[in-house]
Structures are given as C-alpha cells and as structure tokens.
Amino acid sequence: MPDLSTTLHQLSLKNPVMTASGTFGYGKEFSDFIDLASLGGIIVKATTSEPREGNPYPRMAETASGMLNSVGLQNKGLDYFVKHIYPELQQINTHIIANVSGSTIEGYVEVAEKMAGLDHITAIELNISCPNVKQGGMAFGTSVTSALEVTRAVRKVYPKTLIVKLSPNVTSIVDIARAVADGGADVLSLINTLLAMAIDAEKRRPVLSTVTGGLSGPAVKPVALRMVWQVSKAVKLPVIGIGGICNATDAIEFFLAGASAIQVGTANFINPRVTTDIIKGIEDYLLRHNLQTVRELVGSI
C-alpha cells in the first residue's frame, strides 16, 4: 500500500486529511459516521477566552457552488472548553488541533497559553482570518503589522506546533505569509473564507443578519489553489490547503500546488463520510500513478 503519512513541523500525521474548524464540531458529532482515528487530524471549533453567543440568525446561506456563514465565533469560552470538552477530546486517537480565536492580542495569548498545557492538543491553529466579527479576527490577518504582532505574541507562550490560518481577503497573501513566518509560525493554513454577501430579491434585503459573511465550498477552490501555490513557493514553511475540497482529486490538486496536507470543510455538511472517501481516493490515485508516497506529489507541478 502507498504511504500516506506526512509531517507538519513536529506533527507526524498518518495521512494528510484533516477537518476544518467550524465544520466538524468537536469530532464526536461525526463518530456515528466515521472512525475518527482514521483522520490525519481534527481542527476543532474555535475557542475564545470568553464565551460568545455568535451573530443573530440567519447566519448561513446557500449560494451557487458554495455557502455563506456568519456564525461569529460562537463558543462557550476557554474555561468550558478545558473542563467539559477537552476530556472528551482525549478519547480520540488522532491529532487534535485547537483553533484559537480572539478580539485582542491578550485574548489570543490567554487561549494559546492554556492550550499549551493540554497534552492531547498537539498544535494550535491561530485564527487571524474570521471575517464575521466586529473586533479582531480578520482585522489581524489583513495587515502585515498586526499579523506579525499577534503571531509573535503567541509564539512567546506557545512552544508546540503553531499553525496560522490566513485570510484570502488581502491584496498580497504572500506578504502576510512572510510576516507570519517572521513572527515565528511553524505551519500556514489557507484559506479561510472570502468576504461575500447574498441578497434576497423578493424581500429586497440581505440574506444574512450581518449583511456580509464568509464564502466557502467549491466556488472558492480556484482562489485557494492559487494562493497555496503562491505561498508555498515564497515561504519555506509547510502549507495546509483549505478551500472547497470535496473529493480526492481536489485534494491531489492542492498537493500538486504545494500543500503538505489539506483540511476538508464545507463538504462535511453534504457528506459526513467525505473525509474517509478522500483518504481512500488518495490511496487509489497513488496506486494508479505508481507512487510510493503522497509526499512525492507536494509542489510537483
């Protein structure tokens, strides 16, 4: 059988298929459908220092080849995560990666520092790219100075693998990627959602309560591929590709563009078994192309 294993800084993954934050809950929601241990890793729903109720409904909308969300980082906060969610995550035998979000640098640092002490959380993904909050989120990821500053502050308190999730809502993703690398990131994940909107023509108003939201799904894949390709050529850090991946062919395209691993997001809402289908499909592709390892594909276009 071909070797699907890959590495992301200090993380050895059994395969390169992970789930994107906010699309897979805390894992157990999907345990009736798939063996969670078969995944390369699970990036769990965002955690902020304080509880957040999220944005008012409606905060999701279907669009052509995609969807919009404006959830607003709803979660029960850091203390609840440590007390009630972490014990359950310890039962899952794969990499569990916390998505760390915030509205201030101090907030990010507080969450990262706490996550560092949790043995079963093997890495964090610093979310500087959420487009749905009034303070923080994407504001950090769309300025070179703020991206550097928040990454550097978190790096000081977080010794394990630090992944930073980039926003596509910028003129030059390479400039932001370089800033984050200078700030001490170990791995880059991209892309988060594209700022977008939907309008209900009959009601003559925006569909989402927040007017704008983040676009994900197959519609964004070409944008994500382009950005993964640009960043992986410019920055010497491993890249995780995210954006509209629905099947093994999509995943392979991201490896060819330079991604060492991928995250599946919106497709989990359509088919809860899509991740295991993708793992099997990658194996089949490697066999068909007489390749021994998935690593041979990375950046090979």
Contact residues for ligand SIN (CB under 6 A)? 22, 46, 69-73, 127, 129-130, 132, 192-193, 214
Instruction: Reply yes or no: is the peptide bond before residue 58 cis, omega within 30 of 0.
Output: yes
- The residue among 15 and 47 lying less far from ligand SIN, judged by its C-beta, is 47
Q: Report the alpha-carbon distance of residue 92 to residue 16 in Å, rounded.
A: 17
Confirm whether 246 is a catalytic residue.
no
Q: At residue 203, what is the residue type?
A: K
Query: Distance between CA 300 and CA 118 in Å, rounded?
Result: 36
How many of the other CB atoms lie within 10 Å of CB of 93? 13
Sheet holding 66-69, edge to edge: 60-63, 66-69, 212-216, 194-197
CB 44 → ligand SIN: shortest distance, Å?
12
Nearest approach, Cβ of 31 to ligand SIN (angstroms)?
A: 23
Choosing from 17, 89, 130, 198, the catalytic residue is: 130
Nearest approach, Cβ of residue 7 and ligand SIN (Å): 25
The first and second tokens of residue 25, run together, are 């809950």
Element holding 279 (H helix, E strand): helix 274-288
The residue among 130 and 188 lying less far from ligand SIN, judged by its C-beta, is 130
Q: Which residues contact 30 (CB under 8 A, 6 or more apart)?
A: 19, 24, 36, 268, 272
Q: Which is nearer to ligand SIN, 16 or 22 (CB)?
A: 22
Q: Which is nearer to ligand SIN, 47 or 129 (CB)?
A: 129
Contact 161, 96 (CB under 8 A): no
Give the whole-angstrom CA distance, residue 275 versus residue 34: 9
Q: Nearest Cα to 21, choosing from 55, 50, 47?
A: 47
**What's the min distance (Å) between Cβ of 120 and ligand SIN?**
22
Decide whether 22 or 183 has the Cβ nearer to ligand SIN: 22
**Dist CA 189 CA 300 (whole Å):** 19
DSSP state of 20: -
Q: How far is the CB of 164 from ligand SIN (least distance, A)?
A: 12
Half-sphere exposure of 141 (CA within 13 A, CB side): 30
Nearest CB to ligand SIN, comparing residues 214 and 281: 214
Least distance (Å) from ligand SIN to the CB of residue 267? Answer: 16
Q: Which residues are catalytic?
A: 130
